[in-house]
Each structure stands twice: as structure tokens, then as C-alpha cells.
A and B are shown apart, each in its own frame.
Chain A
């Protein structure tokens, strides 16, 4: 082996782009872990709220029936459908709608509906989504078109939501992946494509898009990647074309760093069944029932005007006051931040500005 020309060290394999996203890093769950997160969050919330009830009115929590994780999830899903309605009203693009839905669902993986009612969170999530997807609308125009809403309702929660999302506003969406699939499949000269495919293309796309929209009501986006959801939606519409598309991509990816294995087929089938089974609007009656019970088991500290709310406010006020006084003490009292008074009076005997201009 020749020594004079050392071969360059092999470059480390590049990581796929999707794995750089926060969606992959922080918002990817397994079926079990998702259920676990929700049930643990629910348990913790119920324990805290029960304690609060007891603290202000001992014995009052015994006959309150708290929501369980499934009921919370039902309520959130209902408000995802409300986002769709609002987006139709405002004529927002698909991007805004999908982003807002994702924000709302992600928010309730970190918070409980018993603290923050999804009705308000939904409005703020949608407003936040218009900004993060570059479709801004003025706050006045936004609240003006929604009855019984003031700008402060939207803005008060904005930071809380942004913080709960971990400020990770970028979302990879299935509808974009669907567009990509439709673009390539339209041009591939697949033998089985019917001659009038080009004409039916838009209808195929529309049907598949409806499946993608249905997938937003499910947990699919926490379990699978957007491209897989899009392919499943496409497969529900045109199974043969989807099959051929996937096979062509599989052969292409033989030598690439992201080899598409045969396991994808299983994933696609699972997503399909998720979309068909869970991708439906929750029944209004069930939601109404949950909402009625929520009114009783809300965290009393969050109900404006209640005893617990006032107590909490007073406590916060006291803390803030303490912090302020500590700050004043540390900077040294009585020191004017703009320096001492000038002890030099203005010396001129004549006011130059008050000139009679006779010269």
C-alpha cells in the first residue's frame, strides 16, 4: 500500500433532513407512549385540582367527576374541527389550518383542558399559526369576525402556547407531501394509469386531501411521518397508483442512505385504518356532555371571580411586590437613575430666544 497519498477519511454518513426537524426530535411518539403521556398528564392535573378544591372548600371534591384522558382528547378533537370551520370562514390556506391543528394538539400534550379551555386555546393557536406560516391578519380583523372575542382573549394565551410548543413553530405537513406525490405520479408513465388520469387527477387529489384532513383528527401525525400519512391518504384514493409509486421509490432508494424497507407497507395500512376509524368528527352530543362536566371540574384557580382565583391572584401580587422591593433594595434606595439634580442654574442674564431682533 502506498504511503505517499493517504486516502481521505470517508465522510460520515449524512443524516436525513427530516431527522433534523423538531417534529422528529420532540413530537414523535409511539402508540403506547402517547397514551402514557396523556394519562399521566390527566392524573397529575386531577390530583392538583382536587387539592385546590379541598384547600378552599374541604370535602367539595368528593362528588366532582373529573374528566379522564379520553374525554379530554375528545374535546380537543372537537375543537380541531372548529379550526377547520374558522379557516373556511376566513379563507385561510391549507397551511394555516394544518399548522393550527397541530399546535392545538401539541398544546394538550403539555397542558390539560381543565386548566385551559380549548375554545380559547384554539383561537390563539389559529392566530399564532397565521403568523408562523406567513399569512398574517391583523388582530382587530381577526377578533372582529369571531363573536364574543376581544383581542386580549387571543393575546393572553399566546405566550403560554408558544412556550408549551417549545417555540417549535415549524411543522412538516402531510398535505404538502401529498402534493409532491401527486406531482410525480402524474408524470410517471405507469402502465395501469387510465388514459383519462390527467383529467381525473384533480379529483384524485381532492379525495386524497380529504383523507389527509381526516388524519388531522387522529393521532397519526404523532406516530408516523407526514410522507407516510400522505401516501396512505393517496392509497385510500388510488391504491394501484400508490403501490406503483412506492415500488418505484423503493427501487430508487436501494443505494441511498434512507433505504425504504418493506415495513412501510405495514405502516401505510395502519395509517389507513386509523384514518378510516378515527378520522371522524366527534359526536356533538358526547362533546356537549363532556363540556358540561368540564364546567364543574375546571381548575378553580383559573375561573375568573372564584375564591381560589382571587386567592391565587393575591398570592401572585404579593410575590411580585416582594421581587420589586428586593430589586429596589439591591440597587440602593434613593438613587435617581438619571443622576443628581444639576445645581448649576442657567447663567445667562438675557434670554437669547426672547430677541426683539432690532439689529
Chain B
């Protein structure tokens, strides 16, 4: 219903320019046609509630073979039987609806008006209402979006619903597996059964989460409304203040002039006095303003909700950091001391190299020294092996010809 909500509310919905002018523009680049005058559901809605349809000069109805060149008002809809073949054959399942005046019947009308009928291409039984406008050029994407939208309604658990991150990640993996299976038509009956089982087991939680989500969306909206109202109020107040200020200044000016005219006091003193009172008034207003703005509350409900969310997230079990290197070797560190500098003829050129040409790639002469010093100590204590070992070093596989066998 909401797909033509915009239309009901009287919003102007622009038809894609391409639908009317494409008669003469023979470009074969894809266009995007925007429309909401459809009785067919589905399709992907943009934020304003409109469905954007995919539209291309290459379109052709696979059933009656009429194409966009001869019939610019051709409109193609997608059935529910997305094929799993390659892209070109997916085009075959496009169905045509003629919204033009010169022909009253369309393929969909002709085939499906009398109730469910088999698809002329894959002979899966279809209903008229199961057709939906195409949003994406690639029908695989269309299908994936539809499946994910469906799954998101059922699988709406959150991190707070789990004891730790591990469980949550497992759950996400499970959902992803289901989505993958449905998209690629792997074990569809089993997957559907899995979804049903999940639905039954988690009905209460799902409903609660939907409510939570709605409450959150509502709170968000309230907050936005509140912010907007506040902004408007502030703007109005500002205008009012400016007006007041202007009036007062005029009044004072007049007063001053009249005083200068009537009283015999020193003119300079009178002017100074007037200035002083003006300044006082301004500072008073500024302090008033700060009090006002300080008292303004933040969207109370929203803040509470946010806080509740973060508090809950904090109680979950912290994730263990991943340590990639677990082995711990002794690097002879106590047997040598790396000095800040050495009188070393080999690294002389590097050390004198002020521009750092030789240090490309992060070369540090200290590292080279360190390696040499460590190398001088490494294995110094090892006694040589004696005698024949029982365990010989593994020889690589050698075939009858004495060659190493190539894998």
C-alpha cells in the first residue's frame, strides 16, 4: 500500500522523462524510470516511497517479442520465478505490460487474468499479483534484495539478545547461510523449513524486536520533530528580538534628541548616559538568552533510549584480542649490548648518507647491527652432533630414477 502512499497524499510524482521522450532518443544506454502508478507490489522503494524501475532500450518481451523500439511505452515486470541461468536467459522471464492505449491486452493480462497459470518460459505456476517492477538491471540483485528484505523481517535479533559476541556472530553466520542458500537455490525446502522452525521458536522475541525497532524509529522521529520545532522557535525569537531592539533604539534616539532640545544639561553627558543604558540593556538580554538556552532540554525519551542501549551493550562479554604469534623465542638479548653507534667501516656510507637515499624502505643501520650481533651469539653454545642419528633428516620424495618427484 505504501508504494503509492505518495500518490495518495497528492505528492507530485515525476514520470521518468525517458518514458515520454524516448521515442526519438535512440540511445541504448539504460534509463531509470520512476513511477508509482502500479497495482503491482514489490520493487525497491526509495526514501520518498517511490519505486524506481529499471528501463532500457534493449527491453523486449520474451513472450510476444514486442520491444521498446516499436512500443516506447513497454513496461516489463519480473515474475517470482527468478531463473538461475546466466544473465541473458534471465531476460527471458521478463513479462510485458502495455500501458498504451492502442492495445488493451498485455501478456500478463492475457495469460493470468483467469487465475494462476504456468509461466510460458519455465512453466512454474504464477499469479498476476506476484509480478513486480524491476529496479535493478541485474535480476540476481533484484532477487537478492527481495530475499534479504524478507529475511530481515524475521531475523531481527540484536547483540543485546545474546550472551556474548560469539553467539551473535554465529547467529549472523546462520542468517547469512540461509540467505545464500535461498539466493543460489541450494536446498530450498530444507532452508524454508529452517526459517519456519526459527519463526516458531522466536515469535515472541521477533515481535518484541519489531516493537523495539518501531519505538526507536518513533523516538528518532520525535527527536527530529523536537529539533525542528526548537530551531523554528529560535529563529522566530531572534526575529522578535531584533525588532524589539530596533524599536528601543529608535525610542532612545528620539528621547535623546528631545532631551537635548529641552534640558540645559551638558550634551556630552547626556549622550554618554544614553550609551550606558543601551549597553546595559544589551548585556541583560545576552544573559537572558544564555539562561534560556541552558534550560533547553535534550530529547528526553530519546536520550533515555540511547542510554539503555549502550548500557546493555556494555554488559556483554568482551571479545578476546587475537594474538597472531604465539611462539616465544629467546633471542640472546642478554648476551650482547647494542650500542648507539659503532666505528664500522661497512655502514660508514649509510651513516654519512644525510639525504637518506640508502635508507629507502625504512632501512635502519641499527637493525643491521642488531642482526649481526645476534648472529654472532646464535648457536655459539651448541655442541656438534656426533655419530649416526637414528632419526635421519627427512629426504624429499625420490622416485626410481633418482629424481625428486615433481608435484
User: CB within 8 Å of B: which residues of A?
Assistant: 13-20, 24, 26-33, 36-37, 44-45, 48-49, 52, 110-112, 115, 159-160, 163-164, 166, 172-173, 176-181, 183-184, 186-187, 198, 201-202, 205, 223-228, 230-231, 249, 252-253, 255-261, 263-264, 267, 270, 299, 301, 312, 339, 342, 344, 347-350, 352-353, 355, 359
Contacts and interface: CB of A to CB of B under 8 A. Distances in A.
Interface stretch (B150-158, B165-173, B256-264, B390-398): B390-398
Contacts of B330: 13-17, 257-258
B343 interface: yes
B334 A256 contact: yes
Contacts of B62: 344
A31 B60 CA distance: 83
A27 B369 CA distance: 26
A33 B391 CA distance: 10
Given A225-B380, A256-B334, A44 B373 contact: no
Chain A contact residues, majority secondary structure: helix
Contacts of B89: 342, 344
B88 A30 contact: no
A256 B328 CA distance: 16
Which of the four size classes fits the interface of chain B? 35 or more
A16 B28 contact: no
Chain B contact residues, majority secondary structure: loop
A178 B343 CA distance: 15
Q: Lowest 3 CB-CB distances: which A-B pairs, in order?
A: A180-B376, A225-B379, A30-B385
Interface of B: 24-28, 57-58, 60, 62, 65, 67, 69, 85-86, 88-89, 92, 327-332, 334-336, 339, 342-346, 369, 371-389, 392-396, 398, 400-404, 406-407
Contact of A347 (B60, B331, B377, B400): B60
B383 A160 contact: no
A184 B372 CA distance: 10
A19 B329 CA distance: 9
A48 B401 contact: yes
19 contacts: A15-B329, A16-B332, A29-B385, A44-B402, A48-B402, A163-B406, A163-B407, A176-B371, A179-B375, A180-B336, A186-B342, A205-B345, A223-B384, A256-B335, A261-B381, A270-B384, A339-B85, A352-B28, A359-B25
B345 A201 contact: yes
A177 B396 contact: no
